[in-house]
């Protein structure tokens, strides 16, 4: 499937995950707009991503476009909007962009988790998962959840392909297919459509397992599904 005809908008795009996804997608020829609560911060993040692409020697002619702005501005007419804020920032993000998201594909990468002395701990979400919370708050959006276990650190290492399977869950098959096509454009990632949105909770919680493995073994693990 080809890239969406509108840029992918990333709400909370100044964080590691947003910048990492932007870098990989722009490198793959996909247009991206990075959003922030502060347009100046978004512009700085976009400049950082552009610099990383230059440093990695990504051919300028093969790149997608990269621009930046306030969260509400970048959502514009984007078909796909990535919700890349921390779980605690969702209400603020809904206030900023929620009214614009009817009919849009909203990709939740949100992991509701915290840390205590023993490591990562899943945070209980009354709706069942962060993705379900987004779907409840934005009933007309087409919510897909995925990329929970893809590390921002690895995404930002532009010289290295990733080595990750990316389970995707959602209730809208067209939205799943559109997100799968975007995930497949990230060098070294394979999208795996896993099932309905109700499976977002175990997917989000699985990140705690991987982060705990990372902590114990001092590594940055990814996820691979065998015999698929």
Ligand X SMILES: NC(=O)c1ccc[n+]([C@@H]2O[C@H](COP(=O)([O-])OP(=O)(O)OC[C@H]3O[C@@H](n4cnc5c(N)ncnc54)[C@H](OP(=O)(O)O)[C@@H]3O)[C@@H](O)[C@H]2O)c1
**Interface residue list for ligand X (CB under 6 A):** 12, 14-18, 36-38, 41, 84-89, 92-93, 109-111, 147-148, 150-152
Q: Which is nearer to ligand X, 8 or 60 (CB)?
A: 8
Q: Which is nearer to ligand X, 37 or 48 (CB)?
A: 37
CB of 89 to ligand X, least distance (A): 3
CB of 5 to ligand X, least distance (A): 25
CB of 57 to ligand X, least distance (A): 24
Q: Which is nearer to ligand X, 45 or 61 (CB)?
A: 45
Query: Cα(160)–Cα(92) distance, rounded to whole angstroms?
Result: 34
CB of 227 to ligand X, least distance (A): 25
CB of 39 to ligand X, least distance (A): 9
Run of H or E including 35: strand 32-36
**Can you spell out the DSSP letters for 145-156?**
E--TTS-HHHHH
Which of 134, 142, 128 is CA-nearest to residue 205?
Answer: 128
Give how far Cα 64 sits from Cα of 5, 19, 22, 30, 61, Å. 12, 14, 10, 4, 8
Q: Which is nearer to ligand X, 45 or 175 (CB)?
A: 45
Q: Which is nearer to ligand X, 7 or 120 (CB)?
A: 120
Q: Given the DSSP bridges, would you call strands 142-145 and 8-11 parallel, antiparallel or unpaired?
A: unpaired
| DSSP-assigned letter for residue 163 | -
* Closest residue to ligand X in the complex (CB): 15
Number of other CB atoms surrounding residue 49 within 10 Å: 27
């Amino acid at each position: 499937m080809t890239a969406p005809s509108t840029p992918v908008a990333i709400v909370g795009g100044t964080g590691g995950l947003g910048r990492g996804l932007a870098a990989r997608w722009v490198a793959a020829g996909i247009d991206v707009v990075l959003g922030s609560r502060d347009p100046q911060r978004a512009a700085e993040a976009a400049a950082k991503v552009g610099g990383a692409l230059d440093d990695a020697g990504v051919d300028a002619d093969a790149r997608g476009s990269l621009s930046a702005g306030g969260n509400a501005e970048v959502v514009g007419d984007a078909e796909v909007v990535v919700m890349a804020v921390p779980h605690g920032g969702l209400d603020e993000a809904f206030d900023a962009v929620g009214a614009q998201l009817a009919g849009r594909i909203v990709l939740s990468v949100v992991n509701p988790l915290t840390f205590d002395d023993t490591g990562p701990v899943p945070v209980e979400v009354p709706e069942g998962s962060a993705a379900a919370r987004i779907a409840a708050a934005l009933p007309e959006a087409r919510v897909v959840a995925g990329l929970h276990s893809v590390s921002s650190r690895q995404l930002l290492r532009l010289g290295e392909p990733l080595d990750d399977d990316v389970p995707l869950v959602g209730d809208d098959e067209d939205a799943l297919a559109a997100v799968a096509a975007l995930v497949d454009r990230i060098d070294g990632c394979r999208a795996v459509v896993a099932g309905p949105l109700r499976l977002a909770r175990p997917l989000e919680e699985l990140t705690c397992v991987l982060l705990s493995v990372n902590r114990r073994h001092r590594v940055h693990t990814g996820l691979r599904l065998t015999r698929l």
